[in-house]
């Protein structure tokens, strides 16, 4: 590097905090003053606000997005001998949720342009043991819910949506997270709505499922000291709930800012030999990630990072070939679309506060690499 370039972080949470510091610190002070750290008033307030935003009857705050998925699988009564279908290009938690319940994760391939579950591939792997499908709204684009719903509803198969990367995404006019039986959200700090630590939420409009989710997440109790089943300690901390409640009013404008940044990337990348994100008809993405495809991805990633652009890959490795799932018997080539994509995809920095200048620097550095003028 001959000149010093200002680093462009992958996400800039310090910058976000600076913008909303007064709101967040007031929220923290409120919880600390009341000393209501577990199941305090801010938890109920946040659960209700987040559920209302989605027009869902119930929101159950839990420890993490991982737990929201794991409890959702159990709340549906899924266990040993059952199969649950998901995609192989998601974060590992989606599959772990199935395994931890004693059921078997089954994978199906994805669409090469949107990276979402391919409904035709889903249909091919359904068996009489299939109890649920977990469509994942990958990268902040929606899974094709209309087609998935049609397949599942006709067969009595439950749907758990993994909305970790996609709050406020719409598909065919509907918000994701309330289309299936349960919608599972993550508030991991870098998510579109991120806490100051781990956090998650399950949304449902089914009263019985909501009661089961709440019971499972609170030591299996349906009332204090009555343990109806063997449960978990998985509650959203009141501190996190208060912070998330303070951040929630910003989610809409942050989403608009992400869309604006994505549109700028789309425009600036038009003449470069990279594949830009593809929104399916009827999709209204929220760009949790801005994912491109590029030749020589690993060299490109290294070049960007050496030149102050902190790009990432989501994710290195597909789940069906991970060591922990060796006993499922999958082989390379089983899901060629997901496997090919996983070798070419690259996530460029995107966050609501990213500036046009920063985007130009990212694109300029990428152009150096793709034109062979890498320094």
Ligand X SMILES: Cc1ncc(COP(=O)(O)O)c(C=O)c1O
The two tokens of residue 188 are 């991991």
Of 191 and 344, the one with the shorter C-beta distance to ligand X is 191
Bridge partners, 133 (sequence order): 85, 159
Under the binding rule (CB under 6 A), the answer on residue 88 touching ligand X is no
Q: Pick the closer one to ligand X by CB: 187 or 303.
A: 187
Find the shortest distance in angstroms from Cβ 96 to ligand X: 9
Report the C-alpha gap between 156 and 159 in whole angstroms: 10
| Distance in angstroms (rounded) separating the CA atoms of residues 153 and 155 | 5
The contact mask relative to ligand X for 168-207 (x = CB under 6 A, - = no) is ------------------x-x---------x-x-------
Q: Which stretch binds ligand X (CB under 6 A): 10-18, 59-67, 99-107, 344-352?
A: 59-67
Which positions ≥6 away from 13 have C-beta within 8 Å?
189, 190, 194
Which listed range, 90-98, 118-126, 225-233, 333-341, lies at the site for ligand X (CB under 6 A)?
A: 90-98
The residue from 94, 114, 204, 218 that contacts ligand X (CB under 6 A) is 94
Of 284, 308, 280, the residue nearest 375 (C-alpha):
308
**CA-CA-CA-CA dihedral for 221, 223, 228, 233, to nearest 10:** 0
* H or E, element range at 212: helix 207-217
Q: Of 47-55, 86-94, 207-215, 240-248, which part binds ligand X (CB under 6 A)?
A: 86-94
Record the tokens describing residue 73, joined without a space.
């699988």
Alpha-carbon distance values, 38 to 48, 61, 140, 276, 323 (Å): 17, 11, 31, 44, 37
How many CA atoms, within 13 angstroms, populate the side-chain half-sphere of residue 96? 10
Confirm or reject binding of residue 50 to ligand X (CB under 6 A).
Answer: no
Binding-residue total with ligand X (CB under 6 A): 15
Q: Does 165 bind ligand X (CB under 6 A)?
A: yes
- 113: tokens are 């342009």
Q: Which residues contact 367 (CB under 8 A, 6 or more apart)?
A: 272
Residue from 16, 93, 178, 240 in contact with ligand X (CB under 6 A) = 93
Contact between 182 and 75 (Cβ < 8 Å): yes
Looking at the chain, how many residues does it have? Answer: 375
Measured from the CB of residue 296, what is the shortest distance to ligand X in angstroms? 26
Nearest residue (CB) to ligand X, 94 versus 104: 94
Site string for ligand X, 315-354 (x = CB under 6 A): ----------------------------------------
Nearest CA-CA partner of 318 in 333, 306, 299: 333
Stretch that binds ligand X, among 10-18, 75-83, 162-170, 255-263 (CB under 6 A): 162-170
Residue placing its CB nearer to ligand X in the complex, 91 or 369? 91
Using CB under 6 A, pick the residue from 43, 164, 176, 210 that binds ligand X: 164
Output the six-digit token pair for 41: 């008033």
Assess 240 for contact with ligand X (CB under 6 A).
Answer: no
**x/- binding map, residues 62-81, to ligand X, per CB under 6 A?**
--xxx---------------
Specify the pairing of strand 83-86 against strand 130-133. parallel
Quote the least distance from Cβ 71 to ligand X, whole Å: 12
Closest residue to ligand X, Cβ-based? 65
Q: Which residues bind ligand X (CB under 6 A)?
A: 64-66, 90-91, 93-94, 136, 162, 164-165, 186, 188, 198, 200
């Amino acid at each position: 590097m001959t000149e010093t370039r200002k680093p462009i972080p992958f996400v800039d949470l310090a910058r976000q905090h600076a913008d909303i510091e007064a709101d967040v610190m007031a929220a923290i002070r409120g919880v600390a003053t009341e000393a209501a750290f577990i199941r305090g008033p801010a938890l109920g307030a946040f659960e209700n606000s987040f559920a209302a935003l989605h027009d869902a009857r119930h929101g159950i705050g839990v420890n993490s997005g991982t737990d929201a998925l794991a409890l959702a699988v159990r709340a549906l009564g899924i266990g040993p001998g059952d199969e649950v279908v998901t995609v192989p290009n998601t974060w590992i938690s989606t599959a772990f949720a199935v395994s931890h319940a004693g059921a078997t994760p089954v994978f199906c391939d994805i669409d090469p342009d949107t990276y979402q579950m391919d409904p035709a591939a889903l249909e091919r792997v359904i068996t009489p043991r299939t109890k649920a499908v977990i469509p994942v709204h990958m990268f902040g684009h929606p899974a094709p819910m209309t087609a998935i719903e049609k397949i599942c509803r006709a067969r009595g198969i439950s749907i758990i949506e993994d909305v970790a990367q996609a709050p406020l995404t719409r598909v065919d006019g509907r918000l994701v997270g309330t289309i299936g039986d349960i919608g599972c959200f993550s508030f991991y700090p870098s998510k579109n709505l991120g806490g100051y630590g781990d956090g998650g939420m399950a949304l449902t409009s089914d009263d019985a499922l909501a009661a089961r989710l709440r019971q499972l997440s609170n030591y299996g109790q349906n009332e204090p000291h009555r343990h109806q089943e063997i449960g978990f300690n998985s509650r959203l901390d009141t501190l996190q709930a208060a912070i998330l409640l303070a951040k929630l009013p910003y989610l809409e404008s942050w989403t608009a800012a992400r869309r604006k940044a994505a549109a700028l990337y789309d425009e600036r990348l038009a003449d470069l030999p990279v594949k830009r994100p593809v929104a399916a008809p009827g999709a209204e993405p929220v760009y949790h990630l801005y994912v491109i495809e590029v030749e020589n991805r690993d060299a490109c990633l290294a070049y960007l990072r050496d030149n102050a652009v902190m790009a990432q890959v989501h994710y290195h490795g597909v789940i069906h070939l991970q060591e922990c799932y060796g006993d499922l018997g999958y082989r390379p080539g089983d899901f060629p679309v997901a496997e090919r994509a996983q070798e070419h995809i690259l996530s460029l920095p995107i966050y609501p506060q990213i500036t046009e200048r920063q985007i130009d620097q990212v694109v300029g550095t990428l152009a150096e690499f793709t034109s062979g003028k890498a320094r």
